[in-house]
Amino acid sequence: MHTLFDLQGNISSFIPISDGKLHEVNVVDHLTPEGSTFCVMDRGNIDFDRLYRLHQAGSFFVTRAKSNIVARRRCSRPTYRSTAGVMCDQTIVLKGYKTAKDYPQALLGIRYKDPETGKRLLFINNSTTLPAVSICSLYRTRWQVELFFRRIRMHLQVKSFFKASESAVKSPSWIGMSVYVLVAKKKASQPCSAAYTKRYRFWASTCSKKPARHSAFAEFRWC
């Protein structure tokens, strides 16, 4: 399961379900680029040919660079290491034989040191308007995707299916995701009670398992 997560509503706007043979970088081919939007993605999705297509469509992207990236610094901008954790803010040009052809234009490279863990990260993006601190904060919001999958595993219980066929796997997953979207919209409009959360978990369990339907609905009050 892959997802494009809309941070404005905390709801997935694109969820393809594939087998384990499909690499996550190929999912980018199925996205519809939208102008003036930011795509925050993990470095597993890095393919400079695909990123350049997003750039040409008017979209912005923020991702982590791989450790073997080959680039040349064109210019640098002042940074504030003591307060923001930004160690360097540079305009870079790719110098690899293939990557230079796939992405011929300049990129922005930002090296960031996490003040909590001390881990150093290198971000690359194509936005020339946002400051380096805002780019680092944008990438931090990618954690919402991990929380989304955590909620899926906890509440939808998609690890158990009726059979191992494609339809038996996709049908409960799509039904469960529909339930998740309905509950998320409900929570966005008004606070949900404990009874509503219990109902949500009941729906999720019913969608992904094969219980005795008549007994399950008999012991649950819907009013």
Higher-pLDDT residue of 53 and 17 is: 53
Q: Which amino acid is at 116?
A: E
Higher-pLDDT residue of 186 and 101 is: 101
45 and 137, same domain (yes or no): yes
Nearest to 74 by CA among 112, 128, 131, 114: 128
Q: Examine the pLDDT at 137 and tell me if it is beyond 70.
A: yes
* Owning domain of residue 199: 157-218
pTM above 0.75, yes or no: no
**Which of 143, 176, 209 lies at the terminal end of a domain, its last residue?**
143
Q: Could you tell me if residue 150 is inside a domain?
A: no
105 and 166, same domain (yes or no): no
161 and 139, same domain (yes or no): no
Nearest to 15 by CA among 149, 161, 192: 149
pLDDT (tens digit, 9 = 90+) per residue, 112-121? Answer: 988 888 889 9
Higher-pLDDT residue of 35 and 136 is: 136
Q: What are 175's two structure tokens?
A: 């039904």
Nearest to 201 by CA among 221, 179, 185: 179
The DSSP bridge partners found for residue 6 are 11
Q: Could you tell me if residue 151 is inside a domain?
A: no
Q: DSSP string spanning 30-49?
A: G----TT-EEE--GGG--HH
User: What pLDDT was estimated at residue 197?
Assistant: 61
Largest CA distance in the chain: 69
Q: Residue 196 — very low, low, confident or very high, per pLDDT cuts 50/70/90? A: low
